[in-house]
Structure formats: C-alpha cells, structure tokens
Structure 1
Amino acid sequence: MKEVYITKISKFLPNRPISNDEMEDKLGIIDGKSSKGRRIVLRNNKITTRYYAIDDNGNITHNNAQLTKEAVEKLYDDNLKPNEIELLSCGTSSPDQILPSHAAMVHGFLKNGNTEINSPSGACCSGMNALKYGFLAVKSGQTENAVCTGSERTSSWMKSDTFEDELKHLNTLEDNPILAFNKDFLRWMLSDGAGAFLLENKPNGELPLKIEWMEGYSYAHELDACMYAGADKLESGFLKPWSEYPSDEWSKKSLFAMKQDVKLLGENILVKGVDSLKMAIQKHGLKPEDITYYLPHISSYYFKDKLYEEMVKQDVEIPWENWFMNLSNVGNVGAASIYIMVEELAASGKLKKGDKILLSVPESARFAYAYALLTVC
C-alpha cells in the first residue's frame, strides 16, 4: 500500500464577498415582504460575509461545475499538467442537474483528456467521500494521483422566484401566508464556492499533508431525514419524492428547494457528532491532546459552544486554542467548506512539520459524519 499526500490545495470563491445587508438584494424578497427569520438566523449563525455566483446585476456567473473547474485549474503548475490527472473525484450536494453526474460535467469543462471520474452524492460529506475515493485509489496503487473536490452553488436554489408559485398557491388558501421556516432558514445559511486537493503517492510540494486515515459513520438507521430537497416530508417522517407528485405540484410545494427540520437538527447533530468522533479517534488510538488543529465544519456558530460542551460531556475535549474555523467570513459552503478551511490554514503560515490536523464534517441530511487525520510533512 502506498502513502497518500495532499500536495497542493486550491479554492475558488466567486465574485465579491456579500454582506448580511445585501443578501435579500441578491436572493430577492419573497411576497414583497422582508424575511422575519433572516435577522434571527444571522444573529445565531454569526456569518458576516459569504459568496454568491451572482453578479451585481443579478446575473448568474457560474454554475456548480464551472466553480469546480476554476478550483481544479488552480492546481495546475509545472508539476501537474491538465492531461496528467488520473482520477477526478467531485462531491457536492447541489449538482446542476440530475444527470449527467457532477464529475462528468466538471470533466467536460476541464477538457483535459481521458480520465476516471467519480461523483459521490449526498450533502456536506460528499466532499469527504470524494476525498476518500481518491485516497483509496492512490493508496491501493490504482492511480498515482487524484484530484478531489467539494463544491456548492446553492444561491440559485434560494432565490425568491423558487418560492413564488408556492406563495401564490398559499394566498388562495389562507389570509396571511408565509414561507415555512424550514425553507426560509437555509436561505440565510448557505454560500457558493469550490475547493480542490491534489493527492499524490509522494510528498511533493512545500509542506505536504499526509492522510493518515479516513472514517465515516451514518445514523440513518436511527433517525429520519433532516435536510432534504426534491421531496416532501410527510407527518410520518417518510420522504415522498418529487417523482411521485404531479408536475403542477412541484412548484406549488417548492419541492426542489432545500429544507431543514430545525428541531430534529438541534436534537441530534451534536450528540451523534461527538459519538462518531469518539469512535473514530478510539479506533486509531488518537488522543485529543495529540491534535494540533481541529477543523470542524459547522453550519452556524450557534453550535460552536454547544459542540464543545458535548465534547466535555463525552470526555473527548479538544481545547479551544486548537480549533480553526473560517465560517464567519466565507459562509457555509457545504461540501466545499472543509477544503476551503484546509486551504486557509495551509496558507496561514502557521503549520509546521509534525502538526496533526483533524478534519470533522457532519451532514444533517440523515445524520452522517466523516473524519480524516492529516500530518504535516
């Protein structure tokens, strides 16, 4: 088995940072009324700027595959030519279409010659699953290199026109229709962007990161869906897919919008997160004090203190000074967040040989968690 190293990292954040006060200008006002939930959500998540693939005139500038293509091309240098990529593995929770796959569309934009592609589906963990596929391919000797990506382009899913037909329909049914909070909530949480890693079987580059191990856990056998799109959640918890509704119901119910069961999220995301963290580090004999940098992908700073408290409760406390996050200035970029965090940490000049970096990524879709341990070489 080969050793696997992250030898180059890149990110692509579209256009300029968008402040909280500009969000409704970009995404649009629903039913002519400013969102009542916006200030509450933003106060809790403490995100101050994020990025949208929308220009100042309201035009869409990039789709998801194009964002990913931009990040991948930033990996090119004298040591990596476009046609030398042996495997392209791309994760996202917001693909541009149902078919073809996301990685196929990225490959189409790259036009870099024949290569193997892989498109793990899912939410935030899809970026880590893309990384694990590349990690295992290089480790097994199947390939000598792999480019792995995480990306999101959710802004277009959150624009006001996505919900207009639903509000018109509700207007015929009740006097004071409002967009359900489980749909409005995510409009103020999500951001666009892409990140990419180059994996190789040799420690090339200035400060390569060796991938020691990767682990994943799912709690779908215990818990209902929490974040979903392309379906409606029934009272029983069952997800009824868009394909079982008549087409005129798709827009009336905003079936393709992302939705979040906030109550289910709050009850489970941290407890199961720390439970899975304990399993991962115990399996590999890692102690919390061995971790130099802890990079948790969290959707909101609302969860930060509560995550720490749950760690203390379950006896896996990682000290605050070891935490590294950038949520407040780049926003929640879903599957891309962990890539963008690692890129920022690597570019900070803080890393030194021997440092241990623990990556921690949850997804609330049906509660799954992914972990990786990196060592600075």
Structure 2
Amino acid sequence: MSLTDVYITRTAAYFPNDPVSNDEMEEYLGVINEQASKSRRIVLRNNGIKNRFYALTKEGKATHTNAQMASLAIRKLMNENAGELASLELISCATSSPEQLMPSHAVMVHGWLPETGNVEVVSPSGVCCAGMHAMKYAYMSIKLGQVEKAVSSASERLSPSLRADKFELEVQKLSELQENPYVSFDKDFLRWMLSDGAGAFLLENKPNAHGISLRIDWIEGYSFANEMDPCMYMGAEKLADGTLKSYLDYEPQQVIEQSIMSIKQDVKLLGANIVTLGFKKLKLSLDKKGIDASEIDYFLPHMSSYFFEDKMYDEMKSLGMEIPKEKWFTNLGTKGNVGAASIYLMLDELFNSGKLQKGQKVLLGVPESSRFSYVFSLLTVC
C-alpha cells in the first residue's frame, strides 16, 4: 500500500473573554474560607505565567462550554464557511476536561457544527497528550487514504473546577474536625496553573497552493504507566499504595466533603520524574529517524511552568541533543497552561507569525504528568 504525505494546512485558536492577569485571578476563582491562598504567589512566581483565560465571569457564570470553544476554533479554522465545514470528512477532538461522562466530547463538539453533516468523529481521552493523539488519529486516517481532509482539535475548560466554592464544604468539614482549614497543596497548586481555550488544525493530503504548510514527518508516543504511579488525577483519591480510589467508590457526601472531583497533582512525583523520564525517548525517536538536534529550527515544548525550562534544556543537553534556547518557542507566559490545547496554541502562533521558512524543521514535545506519557512529532515547513 502506498502511503500519502499529510500536511497541516491551517491552524486556529480560540480564547474565551479577555486575558486574566495574576492580580485578577482571585476575582474569578475566589478565596477559600475567606483566607487568601498560601501558595498562590509562590506558584505564580515559579510558573512564569502572566495571563490566562477563563470561560466564566467573576460571578462564576459560564460564558462558554468546552465543546462550544472547540467548535468556535474549528469554525475559525474553516473561515466561518458552511461549504468548507461541509467538506470535512473527520473531526478528532481531545480534552482532559469533558463536561460529561457520556456522550463523548467529540460528539458534543460535532453538535455545535451542524454544517459538517454525518462525518466520523473520534474523542481521544487523556490529559496533555490527548491533543497529540487527536492529531495522530487524523494524520493516520489521511496517511492510509481513508479521508482527504480532517480536523483535529484540543480544548480545555477547567476554570469551574478551580473556583473556591468547589472547596468550601471541604474546609468547613476540616474546621468542624478542628483541623487546619486550608485546602491541601496538591489541590491549591493547580488553581494557579491552568487556563481555558481551544485550538484546531486542518490536515490534508496535499499542501497549500498558496502559503506555507507543515508536513507531518512522524508522531511517536511513549507511556511510563507500567513503571509509575498516577501523578495528576481528577475524580479519584490517591491511596497510600499509589493506586487510585474512584469517586464511584465513595459515598456521595464524601465526594463533596473531600473535593474528590477536584484536579490534584502529586508535586513531588512530578518534579522528580517529568523531565528525566521522557526525553531519553525523544533521543530514541530522533536517532531512529536519523535526525540530529542541530537540524531542528524550532522546538515547541509544552510546559506547565517555566520552572521546568532549564531542567528540560539541561536534560536534553546531557543526552546529546542540545537545542539552543533561541530556537525554543512557547507562549506559556501570555496564554497560560491550556493542557491538551497548549501545543495547538503554540503552533498556531508560530504558524501565523511569518517566521517560518520552507525547509525548516519544527519539533513538538508534549509531556503529560498524569501517569507520565510523552508524544513527540517532527514537522517540515513546505
């Protein structure tokens, strides 16, 4: 079977509302138990994020759904044109924050796009790597000749789960038990890390007739879940033996009183492993494909925090694949950590920056801390 080349021919991003500065965050997220967060300033100083976006008002009212934001990014991608939307054959949509357990996120996105007709939809689950999995499904479908034109998207709406009112019953219960009425750091930490938004790519079996395209040379993923305990999780509690206890196995009142549905991060496990585990696999991918790091013109690393930037650089250098910092491209500081959508938002900004020249190589790197997964992809500008 002959395999066709696959190209990203357009990119788009959608952000809800105006950017929210560090000083405004608690106006949107609120304070827990009428006490300012102990960790907010420390976390913000380390993560280097200056602005982020929330799909809600200061009163906590939703302005967009997750699926709606993804559909708006796709509409923007297709120039708000019903005919172009109707030409799609596949829609692959990822998120780590679906707003329902059923139906799938992708069919909810499709529900906002009636012009597309009865196309195939697929919804890869996961966390930050899910956006890359969505892209890989679309890439493989075109590569095999099953479709000629597909959209992949990634979106997040985590802000509602970060609001103070989601933790009030927990701190009230702690107060009743005469314990420290502060939400634990593993929950509070992520309140200052995450952002809302959506991105989308158009993938086709031929490059743009006018303007640049990005040929997808390869996409490779690796999981360390066979070696590592969960590190970031939601809808569960981590037990002493490292396993997760599902919200389904708690009494309804316990789910509320212990904020079981909140998103949590084992910060010690994160810091000790997120960089060292995955980048040796990037070295393996580059070596397998005969690519030297000196050939990379742009490196787009998904980072939850600038805290990891130097650690990532040092690790890559130690593995013999140093990419100078001037070749790194990220918009974490201005757009925030948008989980699965972050790599879409970075690539969209670079794609539309006017900086890319034909023949250049762009390397994407997406670590995921949930149970330590990584996806890497090499693109060539053409």
Under a length normalisation based on structure 2, what TM-score does the superposition of the two structures give? 0.97
Q: Match of 1:74, SS?
A: helix
Matched, 1:263 2:268: yes
TM-superposed CA distance for 1:79, in Å, is 10
1:176, 1:150 → 2: CA distance?
Answer: 38
2:249, 2:22 → 1: CA distance?
Answer: 37
**What are the residue-to-residue correspondences of 1:220-259 with 2, within 5 Å?**
220-259=225-264
1:289 equivalent in structure 2:
294
1:166, 1:28 → 2: CA distance?
Answer: 15
Q: Number of matched residues?
A: 377
1:253, 1:229 → 2: CA distance?
Answer: 12
Q: Match of 2:253, SS?
A: helix
Q: Is the 8 A contact 2:175 2:181 kept in 1?
A: yes
List structure 1 runs of 4+ shifted beyond 2 angstroms.
55-59, 77-80
**What are the residue-to-residue correspondences of 1:51-70 with 2, within 5 Å?**
51-70=53-72
Letter in 1 for 2:256: S
Q: 1:232 to 1:58 in 2, by over 3 A?
A: closer
Range with bigger deviation, 273-282 or 153-162: 273-282
1:71 equivalent in structure 2:
73
Range with bigger deviation, 133-142 or 245-254: 245-254
Q: Is the 8 A contact 2:298 2:329 kept in 1?
A: yes
1:143 equivalent in structure 2:
147
1:279 to 279, 284, 291: 284
Q: Is the 8 A contact 1:166 1:253 kept in 2?
A: yes
Q: Is the 8 A contact 1:83 1:114 kept in 2?
A: no
Letter in 2 for 1:89: S
Matched, 1:92 2:90: no
1:198 equivalent in structure 2:
202
TM-superposed CA distance for 1:80, in Å, is 5.9
Q: Is the 8 A contact 2:362 2:379 kept in 1?
A: yes
1:248, 1:20 → 2: CA distance?
Answer: 33
Letter in 1 for 2:61: N
Q: 1:256 to 1:57 in 2, by over 3 A?
A: closer
2:107 to 104, 107, 115: 104
1:46 equivalent in structure 2:
48
2:109, 2:82 → 1: CA distance?
Answer: 21
1:22 to 5, 21, 24: 24
Letter in 2 for 1:338: I
1:63, 1:282 → 2: CA distance?
Answer: 42
1:347 equivalent in structure 2:
352
Unaligned runs of 5+ in 1: none
Unaligned runs of 5+ in 2: none
Q: Deviations 1:315-358 (Å, cap 9, x if unpaired)? A: 22111111111100000000000000001001111100001000
TM-superposed CA distance for 1:88, in Å, is 0.5
TM-superposed CA distance for 1:56, in Å, is 4.6
1:83 equivalent in structure 2:
86
TM-superposed CA distance for 1:194, in Å, is 0.3
TM-superposed CA distance for 1:3, in Å, is 0.6
Percent of aligned pairs with the same residue? Answer: 54
Matched, 1:365 2:370: yes
Q: Deviations 1:2-23 (Å, cap 9, x if unpaired)? A: 1100011000011001000000
1:317 to 313, 322, 327: 322
2:58, 2:159 → 1: CA distance?
Answer: 14
1:254, 1:215 → 2: CA distance?
Answer: 35
Under a length normalisation based on structure 1, what TM-score does the superposition of the two structures give? 0.98
Q: Is the 8 A contact 2:27 2:58 kept in 1?
A: no
TM-superposed CA distance for 1:59, in Å, is 2.2
Matched, 1:173 2:142: no
2:372, 2:179 → 1: CA distance?
Answer: 37
2:57, 2:175 → 1: CA distance?
Answer: 31
Q: Is the 8 A contact 2:60 2:160 kept in 1?
A: no
Q: Note the aligned Cα RMSD (angstroms).
A: 1.1
Q: Deviations 1:231-281 (Å, cap 9, x if unpaired)? A: 000011010111111111111111111000000000000001211211221
1:300 to 299, 305, 315: 305
